Structure 1
Amino acid sequence: MDGSEDTEILPAAVLSGAPIELQARTVRIYQPSKPATQSGTWGAHHWRMDWDILPKGHRWENPLMGWQSSGDFMQGTRLEFKSKDEAIRFAEKQGYEYFVQEPNTRAFTPKAYANNFLYTPKKLKLVRAK
């Protein structure tokens, strides 16, 4: 965007002088999932915005250690917002193209330990130890 487009909001990148490479990037807005190592959902209440990886890659292998290196200056950058609407408003204000990735909802079925001992009219199952 160069400021000549007919939009309600003037993108901040037009006034800030940000490089074209940053203005043309697409951002992803999503709600992070619960970590597999934790049982709580504390970190999953906010929304996150990060930049997609560059289409050409701009990656190479570091000859000293063999690690992957990148020339992408936005690679590890992410922003956190309290709501999805705040993240969308910020992306529109900056003039970024964005897409929203909706979170998957978990199906929770309440269970009780006592249900393991309820009587069900089925054929009696014989269990032999030896």
Structure 2
Amino acid sequence: MLSVRPVFRLWSRTAAQRFLSSTESAVAIANAELEDGRSQLEAEKSAVQRKVEAMTKADPNMVFGSTEEDPDPELPENPAEITALDPAHLRDAIMPDGTQRLVHIQQRAYRVSQNPMDSEQTWYISFMDDGATAKTWDNPLMGWVSGADPMASNIQLQMSFRTASEAVYFAKKRGWHFVVDEPRFRRGRSDEVQYQDNFLPQKVAALVKRDRKQCNHWERPKAGASHYFRPLKYHGEGEVSQHGPNGDAPIAADAESYYKMR
């Protein structure tokens, strides 16, 4: 008796190959049609639409601007020579008495807040420190210092630097003499103390992490019991009478306590 099983297998394999080849050709045709449609849509777009799409791709919040990167300016290797490019910088570096402007480059002060050391991550140029020359005057009566210097009044609100080297480079470009203060180094802690430890000690947090719902740290054997008492009078000669018809009645016995349900 002849077996038809090998012939059936050969026919099934041939049919599968034909099906796969036809499917691949159909997918290729569909992709080509899709690309043609996209190219036609791109050709129909106006210059304004292309500009808006490029701006949105660069920055979703951009309303108007350039999408091309600006070329690096050709500046002299010595930053102090940049001052000669703007005559205003030459006049600003000289004080009315003929002295050169002196500035201090330092970190911002420590703040008493939830993130106190964030301010110390930035550097700024100060005009009001000891030894710095600013266009200010001291009140002879009260000792107040004026804020007439526009740089001293505004630069702290306008400009900050990530590193001291960036502030030094800016001061050189302006033609200022500068003094760089010592950076603030704070020794790190080895006990991994965090702000949340002020409210939940590390020992209790470890118990909660270990025991989870079975943690009995907040279990109170007298929870729900009555702890009412009458305070003593000012001189201590008796208890203070309470308001109501039974203000002098004996105090009832305390209610039975129970564990607080969490």
Same fold flag (TM > 0.5):
yes
1:102 aligns with 2:179: no
1:85 aligns with 2:156: no
1:15 aligns with 2:94: no
Q: Distance in 2 between matches of 1:75 and 1:58?
A: 13
User: Who wins on radius of gyration, i.e. which is larger?
Assistant: 2
Q: Distance in 1 between matches of 2:179 and 2:145?
A: 27
What is the RMSD of the two structures over their aligned residues, measured on CA atoms?
Answer: 3.4
1:69: how far off? 5.1
**Residues 71 and 83 of structure 1: CA distance in aligned 2, closer, same or farther (over 3 Å):** closer
Q: Is the helix fraction higher in 1 or 2?
A: 2
Provide the aligned length of Structure 1 versus Structure 2.
104
Deviations 1:27-59 (A, max 9, x none): 111112321x2142222221111114548x621
Alignment match of 1:60 (pick from 93, 115, 139): 139
1:11: how far off? 4.9
C-alpha contact 1:47 1:83 (8 A) present in aligned 2: yes
Task: Please name the residue that 1:27 is paired with.
Answer: 103
Secondary structure at the aligned position of 2:81 is classed as: coil
Gaps in structure 1 of 5+ consecutive residues: 1-6, 115-130
Aligned partner of 1:21: which letter? M
Q: Distance in 1 between matches of 2:182 and 2:175?
A: 21
Query: Given the two structures, how large is their TM-score scaled by the length of structure 2?
Result: 0.33
Q: Distance in 2 between matches of 1:107 and 1:32?
A: 18
Q: Is the strand fraction higher in 1 or 2?
A: 1
Aligned partner of 2:119: which letter? G
Gaps in structure 2 of 5+ consecutive residues: 1-76, 193-201, 204-262
Q: Distance in 2 between matches of 1:110 and 1:29?
A: 31
Aligned partner of 2:184: which letter? N
Q: Percent identity?
A: 20
